[in-house]
Structure 1
Amino acid sequence: MEKILSKFKFAYHYIVNSIGFYPTLISVFFFALALFMLYLEAHGLSSRFKDNLPFMIITNGETARLILSSITTGIISLTVFSFTMVMLVLNQASSNFTPRVIPGLISYKSNQRVLGLYLGTLIYTLVIMVNVRAEYYNISLPGFSIFLAMCFTIVCLGFFVYFIHSISQSIQIESILESIHGVTHGGLSEEIKKDNGLGVPNIFITDHTWHVLKSPTTGYLQSLDEDAVLEVCKKYDVVLDFNQPLGSFLIDGVPFARANNLLKNKDAFTDEFFDLVDFYREERPSVNYLFGFKHITESAVKALSPGINDPGTAIKAIDYLTDLFVLRMQLTDQKVLYDDKGAARIRFQHETFETLYAITLSPIRLYGKGSSVIVLRLLFLLRSLLYKVQDYPHLKPVLYKEAELLLFDADEEIKNPGDRQKINLQVQELNKMNVLLNQLPLLQVKM
């Protein structure tokens, strides 16, 4: 039962985040509405409105067919044009920013609802069109249902204007970065709430025999159904200690975790465990906050490439990363899951702050080391973190090491004495804070 529920959860997550979820849902609703309206028409709905509201009821068959065929043709054209715009936007986003932002753009619910409205109106109109002059009606035409089709068409035209505005806004890098930052911030905040911060339970550090578990498949270990996995571990009386954090790439036959008990049916346990694990290729920040850091970094690096040459976008990306790093300081480097009896069952290794800080800023530093603007912004990022690092003294060496690397690259690439003086002024401000364990070196200025 747990296996079925887990598969249902993974399938639900995949379906909800697909571009066809809301269009399909809305289309089914309009199809049901059309059948319901035809049922009411069969019981004299239009005849009741005909005397009181005659302007709402269409009584001429040729006029009705002309209206419905015009609506059908127009909505099809509108839908094709809108889907074409979506594809063009996705292609442009992939070329100018990073292909990893495409799943986020596809999952915009507002655009999906607009497309669903188009398809739903089209389906509703087709169903009504087929039943014009049907023999089993007591009235000649489903006049009120045709009037509703006209109303839905007018609504579609209004939402088309909204769709143009929305799609033009969603392609802007500011909107993309803000969306990624918001999702990543939310996911990171959830991890912080779940973080008990009590240290590592003794079961994971006690010197006893651990047994290696090998991966039965190849793929990215993106997420798992935590409650179901805890039940499986409790069932087999197993404590799992993962070698790598979630999001890591597993190779068939390579160890991925260790267990504290020698399982008699180890293969059955691993098979049952992997049935509760979700493997997929899309990197969604909503699933793992690390992907959010990665997407923002890739957007900054793409902006610094010679083909794009947009340092303003890189600066905005650095600003968003600053806020996320301040939040990441609050999270410990390990995640422990407990069963319903309070026993520690699973330990994950979070990507450490040092590793995350390095893999995020190293590409930006590499591609922006020749720009004084980028170097100054990275130093401003460091300054912001120094205001928060007092509560996390173990991170001070990490910040100092990365600052040294930044200044080393800047010393090698930036030759203009004026730019070097600006960098030195920023470094002096950092040294005056007296937060780092050692003073940062200044660049030599030769006039």
Structure 2
Amino acid sequence: MIFENTLSFARKMDRNDSLKKFRTQFHIPKVKGKTALYFTGNSLGLQPKSTKKFIDQELTDWAKLGVEGHFHAKRPWLSYHKFTKKALAQIVGARPSEVVAMNQLTVNLHLMMVSFYKPTAKRYKLIVESGAFPSDQYAFESQVKFHGLNPDDAIVELKPRDGETKIRTEDIVNTINQHGNTVALVLIGAVQYYTGQFFNIKKITETAHAVGAYAGFDCAHAVGNVELDLHKNNVDFAVWCSYKYLNSGAGGIAGAFVHDRHANNNALPRFAGWWGHHEGERFQMKKGFIPMPGVDGWQLSNFPVLSGAAHLASLEIFQAAGIKNLRKKSILLTGFLESLLNDIDKEGKHFTVFTPKNVKERGCQLSIAVKHDGKKVFTKLTKAGVIADWREPGVIRVAPVPLYNTFEDVFLFSEILKKALAK
């Protein structure tokens, strides 16, 4: 599409937007009494207006029923995790039996590594992207040390070539093949939190399997942002949080995927908890763990209902909007932002956008590296009503989310940025 750098064009795009009604379903913060330009859905998604209703229902049932809410609440608590399955399966491209809402992101990452990172004397290497989110880095290091290995030897980091910011797919493939039968697990963030790069999940998984390794992905910045096809791409496992693009509240319940080919593999080591025990015998309180088939067998504790209610409120919106429709709008919305940024600084004197230009290699986030006085520029944006994200040493991450951001939002942001740079 050819974009026009005008407010009238932005408003025309908004009028023709088939998803525009969803913006009204969210609470949008105000700055100095005016509706903010909110571009941090990649850090914390906005609250759906329906969230209160969902949580209030559980509070009402708890007040009226007490423990009987496990069986007689409007949404019985005993099977609460099952209510999320259909929507999550659609969002990540999986079967309902392959997805579950549980725990927190890093907890799930550790649980999956217990099962899928099984180093031996020969096959022990863990291949990850450089600059992974710190929590992931700490998980990698501690898991490797737990097995008595040296992180400097066992962890292989994939890095961009000199002078580049994205990691080329061919370099990932070559690195996996280079280490060959010493690789135990390839574990990458599906969308890189800092650069916004969307990795080729299918190719990475195929290459990992070809050398006899498992392939897992941290989808924290991918879920609800890009189209995923975890089942067809034969991914072994994936984990994610729900508080970013899935709009389920700060610290909201996370999720996990395990491919169905592992559904009944009881030989996989795992850390067990009673909610992962076969539900037909769960309350017999016997010794001897018998896992539920599928990813449900990785559950530890009973479901956190209040957090889960917020999750359901957002998933209901996703089901109504459809991830394919959201992705289609996202490509246009982010493309419009990119076009405006190019117009602001044609010669690259003030900033560079280092998120990949290929729309297939990015989600809705653009990472802007400001060359001079970046923090001052960011402060000016904040004072003007923009809620964006600052990352050291000089990067502003901007994420126009298709569920609630508009083309007019994007245009107004570009005008504010232009003034901030001029000053």
TM-score (norm 1): 0.23
Question: Which of the pair has the greater relative contact order for Cα pairs under 8 Å at 6+ separation?
Answer: 2
Q: Name the one with the larger helix percent.
A: 1
Q: Name the one with the larger strand percent.
A: 2
Bigger radius of gyration among the two: 1
TM-score (norm 2): 0.24
